[in-house]
């Protein structure tokens, strides 16, 4: 029997369907080469369905998703829909309901990809951010009273419990251990906890003690470092080569991974995974729906292809993931730029080139 993986595909809004098409093209080419099969089932969740029916993502869909091996999301967001509705109703709902508690964001600069950091090249920018993906301020604890008056009060709480912190740190240390074994260029570098424990003394202290305890008890060979989040921003720009694995809470992770995306060459190339190590994970390009480029065949599918590479890796098909990465690098060498409309090729041409050299 051929190995077969069932993938739930949500092409979504804007340029989502265009990049998802190229990503599935590349994934299928890799699968054919390696002798396994991918079965994609498409779901139409997104702006169009919401505008027609008022429905974002029914609870029944979560039950459906559980029958799949992995999920792939093109993009969510539309100018005709008030910000927040689709994001919370679809993306965050999936993250929470499927307990995708890790947001994995490789920050890797490939050869011939432009970075805004002068004097930095692929040898300097090759790290991974692990963002806790279900806790913190994103849990939505808080509220507002006296709304609309001059005495209005609003709160939004950063909520963490030890279990949530520990399971995230565990994932980060295990990934660091793998990279440690892989190459001296990684093993010489520490795992870095990013927080703001000089001000957020309760949550910061919980993260820091958990990090120190787990590190010293279970991973004594791995060097540990700590950065306040504001300083981490500076170092990402000034000394990105200091980082190998950085782990942080949800909101700080949201913020620093966009900076990470920029230094690795922009939203055209940045990919991420919403991971439940014990369950179903969802992979996505970071670029969003980019409405102004939709339907023109000019958006860069590289981020989506990177996301599909991560998906195959998480399914255990690491050889195919490597083959895709190699094909991406060959293609990136030929491209003029990784920016939408400036690639020197169309969306479909870039997809064809990667698929053709997988």
Which residues are at the interface with ligand IPM (CB under 6 A)? 87, 91-92, 254
Alpha helices per DSSP H over the chain = 16-34, 47-53, 59-65, 85-86, 93-97, 162-182, 184-187, 201-218, 229-238, 250-263, 302-314, 318-334, 347-356
Report residue 277 CA to chain centroid gap: 14
The minimum distance between CB 106 and Mn ion, in angstroms, equals 15
- Residue among 70 and 92 whose Cβ is closer to ligand IPM: 92
As a whole number of angstroms, the distance between CA 217 and CA 237 comes to: 32
As a whole number of angstroms, the distance between CA 69 and CA 6 comes to: 5
- Residue among 270 and 335 whose Cβ is closer to ligand IPM: 270
- Residue among 247 and 343 whose Cβ is closer to ligand IPM: 247
The minimum distance between CB 91 and ligand IPM, in angstroms, equals 5
Reported as type and span, the H/E element at residue 16 is helix 16-34
- Residue among 166 and 254 whose Cβ is closer to Mn ion: 254
- Residue among 254 and 352 whose Cβ is closer to Mn ion: 254
Is residue 87 within the footprint of Mn ion (CB under 5 A)?
no
Could you say which of ligand IPM, Mn ion, none residue 92 binds, taking C-beta under 5 to 8 angstroms by partner kind? Answer: ligand IPM
Reported as type and span, the H/E element at residue 238 is helix 229-238
Taking CB atoms, the residue at the shortest distance from Mn ion is 254
Could you say which of ligand IPM, Mn ion, none residue 99 binds, taking C-beta under 5 to 8 angstroms by partner kind? Answer: none
Could you say which of Mn ion, ligand IPM, none residue 91 binds, taking C-beta under 5 to 8 angstroms by partner kind? Answer: ligand IPM
As a whole number of angstroms, the distance between CA 8 and CA 269 comes to: 22
The minimum distance between CB 273 and Mn ion, in angstroms, equals 14
* Cα dist from 79 to 18, 19, 290, whole Å: 18, 19, 10
* N- to C-terminal Cα separation, the chain: 23
Residues 241-260 that bind Mn ion (CB under 5 A): 254
- Residue 59 is encoded by which pair of tokens? 């609870």
User: How many residues belong to the site for Mn ion (CB under 5 A)?
Assistant: 1
Residues binding Mn ion (CB under 5 A) = 254
């Amino acid at each position: 029997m051929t190995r077969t993986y069932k993938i739930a595909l949500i092409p979504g809004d804007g340029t989502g369907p265009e990049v998802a098409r190229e990503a599935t093209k590349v994934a299928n080419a890799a699968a054919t080469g390696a002798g396994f099969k991918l079965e994609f089932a498409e779901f139409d969740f997104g702006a169009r369905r919401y505008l027609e029916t008022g429905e974002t993502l029914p609870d029944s869909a979560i039950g459906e998703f559980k029958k799949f091996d992995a999920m792939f999301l093109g993009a969510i967001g539309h100018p005709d829909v008030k910000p927040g509705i689709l994001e919370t109703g679809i993306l965050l709902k999936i993250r929470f309901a499927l307990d995708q508690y890790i947001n994995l964001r490789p920050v890797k600069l490939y050869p011939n990809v432009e970075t805004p950091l002068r004097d930095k090249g692929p040898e300097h920018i090759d790290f991974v951010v692990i963002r806790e993906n279900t806790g913190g301020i994103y849990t939505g604890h808080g509220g507002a009273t006296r709304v609309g008056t001059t005495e209005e009060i609003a709160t939004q709480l950063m909520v963490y419990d030890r279990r949530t912190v520990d399971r995230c740190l565990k994932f980060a240390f295990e990934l660091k251990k793998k990279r440690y074994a892989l190459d001296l260029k990684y093993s010489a570098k520490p795992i870095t906890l990013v927080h703001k424990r000089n001000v957020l003394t309760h949550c910061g202290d919980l993260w820091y003690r958990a990090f120190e305890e787990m590190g010293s008890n279970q991973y004594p060979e791995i060097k540990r470092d700590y950065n306040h989040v504001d300083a981490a921003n500076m170092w990402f720009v000034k000394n990105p080569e200091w980082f190998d694995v950085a782990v942080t809470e949800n909101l700080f992770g949201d913020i620093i991974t966009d900076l990470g995306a920029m230094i690795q060459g922009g939203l055209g190339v940045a990919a991420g995974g919403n991971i439940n190590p014990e369950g179903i994970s969802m992979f996505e390009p970071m670029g969003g729906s980019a409405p102004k480029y939709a339907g023109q065949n000019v958006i860069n599918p590289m981020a989506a292809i990177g996301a599909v590479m991560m998906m195959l890796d998480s399914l255990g098909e690491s050889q195919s993931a490597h083959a895709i990465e190699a094909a991406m690098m060959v293609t990136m060498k030929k491209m003029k730029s990784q920016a939408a409309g400036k690639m020197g090729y169309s969306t479909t041409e870039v997809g064809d080139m990667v698929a053709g050299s997988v």
